[in-house]
Amino acid sequence: MLTIGIVANPSSGKDIRRLIGKASVFDNREKQAIVRRAVVGAVNAGAQSIAFMDDSHSIASSALSELSFGKGVRLHNIACPRSATALDTVKAAQQMSELPCAAVLVLGGDGTSRAFVKGWRDATLLSLSTGTNNVFPVICEATVAGSVLGLLASEALPMDEVTRQTKIIDVRIENEADDVALIDAVFTSDSFIGSRALLDADVLVQAVLSRADPTAVGMTSLGGLVESIDEQDEAGLHMVFGPGGRVVSAPIAPGLFADVEVKSIHRIDYARPVEFTGPAILALDGERERVIEAGQKVELVLTRTGPKVVDIRKAMHLAAKRGLFIQ
């Protein structure tokens, strides 16, 4: 019997974009309810071992304390620094990688999933949207998502039938630790990181996207409104901003549009680096993260070596076809 992991980010769905663009708020009580429903679904589908991140707001532990389990269900408390930062997710991911985890439920936005992947790159993820920039996570009723996790943990469904490996952007920074982005890596002309949220279109310099989705918000929308690239496409998109091209009106955040000057845009293949020399601020998956000094070199490389993600719809259709919920 395999374990399922649970990571709930208490900071997701609460940042400055709620003030600037009136984005939706996901409070921690709602996240507790999501975890509770997911665990009910997982246990009903056969999960018997659950590992959860002991986050700074006790989201998962509070949700689990409200449930009654049979003797066969084991709970594993995964300690983390409880710093209320991405470090908690990174450390929890590292510890979960040492367990026989079938898949991990991640509650948050693109940034939360990215933080988990920094700690455990080849994990199998089922990311549910409770953040701001939600391209990597999906929207699904937690009870159903939990049922899929339970089927994987009990090995009622073979992993390779219902998962796929995702694209990822490897970030190589001269004389510094490498980094990653799941959806977009963006160079800006900012002088400092500040509030992290990427809200000012006038500071955009260049971007590399693993997906360009016109139905989303953020940088992926900006690319997708010019040339769409989905998760299945074996390519990415490189954008250079500035005068001399076209002006794209795009939702750069929930409830916030901007007219952005796009100088050039073209597809990029795997393993062909996009090179950049500082100074700049580097934003990863919607948040300004790294300071690039003057003369410092950066390479962005797109590959299909990211985490595996669970296809919820395919999993449930297979489960129904095979009668896995029929007694």
Please check whether residue 198 lies inside any domain of the structure. Answer: yes
Query: DSSP per residue over 258-305, as a string?
Result: EEEEEEEEEEE-TT-PEEEESSEEEEETTEEEEEEPTT-EEEEEEES-
Task: Read off the pLDDT of residues 267-307 as tens digits, 9 standing for 90 and up.
Answer: 999 989 999 999 999 999 988 899 999 999 999 999 999 99
Please check whether residue 327 lies inside any domain of the structure. Answer: no
Quote the pLDDT of residue 199.
Answer: 80
pLDDT band at 22 (very low <50, low <70, confident <90, very high): low
Same domain, 118 and 237: no
Question: Chain-centre distance of CA 31, in angstroms?
Answer: 16
Of residues 25 and 63, more confidently modeled = 63
Same domain, 123 and 159: yes
Please state, rounded to an integer, the average pLDDT across all residues of the chain: 92
Please check whether residue 16 lies inside any domain of the structure. Answer: yes
Quote the pLDDT of residue 115.
Answer: 95
Same domain, 94 and 187: no
Say how many Å lie between the first and final Cα of the chain, rounded. Answer: 20
| Positions of E strands within 19-145 | 49-53, 74-78, 101-108, 124-129
Quote the pLDDT of residue 72.
Answer: 86
What CATH number should be reported for the domain holding residue 112? 3.40.50.10330
pLDDT band at 84 (very low <50, low <70, confident <90, very high): confident
85-100 burial string, b = 16+ CB within 10 Å, else e? ebebbbbbbebbeebe
pLDDT band at 19 (very low <50, low <70, confident <90, very high): low
Mean pLDDT of 49-64: 92
Quote the pLDDT of residue 24.
Answer: 67
Same domain, 199 and 212: yes
196-216 burial string, b = 16+ CB within 10 Å, else e? ebbbebebbbbbbbbbbbeeb
Helix ranges (DSSP H) in 54-104: 59-65, 86-96
Same domain, 144 and 227: no
pLDDT at 1 over 90: no
What CATH number should be reported for the domain holding residue 235? 2.60.200.30
In the chain, how long is the greatest CA-to-CA distance?
A: 67
Same domain, 215 and 294: yes
Please check whether residue 326 lies inside any domain of the structure. Answer: no
Question: Chain-centre distance of CA 140, in angstroms?
Answer: 15
Other C-beta atoms lying within 10 Å of the C-beta of residue 327 = 3
pLDDT at 15 over 70: no
Task: Read off the pLDDT of residues 185-236 as tens digits, 9 standing for 90 and up.
Answer: 999 999 887 666 778 899 999 999 999 999 999 999 999 999 999 999 999 9
Same domain, 130 and 33: yes
Please check whether residue 72 lies inside any domain of the structure. Answer: yes
pLDDT at 14 over 90: no
Quote the pLDDT of residue 105.
Answer: 98
Using alpha carbons only, what angle is made at residue 243 by residues 239 and 244, rounded to the nearest 5 degrees?
90
* Total domain count, the chain: 2
Calculate the alpha carbon distances from 78 to 12, 85, 130, 257 in Å.
19, 16, 21, 40
pLDDT at 12 over 70: no
The residues, any chain, with a CB within 8 Å of residue 248's CB and separated by 6 or more, are 222, 225, 226, 259, 260, 262
Same domain, 177 and 161: no
The C-alpha atoms of residue 224 and residue 285 are separated, in whole angstroms, by 15
pLDDT at 21 over 60: no
Mean pLDDT of 70-82: 89
Task: Read off the pLDDT of residues 128-185 as tens digits, 9 standing for 90 and up.
Answer: 998 666 899 999 999 999 999 999 999 999 999 999 999 999 999 999 999 999 999 9
- Structural domain for 313, as ranges: 3-166+307-321
Q: Which two tokens stand for residue 183?
A: 């959806």
Task: Read off the pLDDT of residues 89-144 as tens digits, 9 standing for 90 and up.
Answer: 999 999 999 999 999 999 998 999 999 999 999 999 999 998 666 899 999 999 99
Handedness of CA 67, 116, 4, 130 (dihedral sign): positive
pLDDT at 70 over 90: no
The C-alpha atoms of residue 26 and residue 202 are separated, in whole angstroms, by 29
How long, in residues, is the chain?
Answer: 327
Other C-beta atoms lying within 10 Å of the C-beta of residue 285 = 30
220-230 burial string, b = 16+ CB within 10 Å, else e? bbbbbbbeebe
Same domain, 159 and 195: no
Quote the pLDDT of residue 209.
Answer: 98
The residues, any chain, with a CB within 8 Å of residue 143's CB and separated by 6 or more, are 37, 38, 40, 41
Of residues 72 and 261, more confidently modeled = 261
Q: Which two tokens stand for residue 302?
A: 């797109």
Paired with 283 in beta bridges are: 186, 288
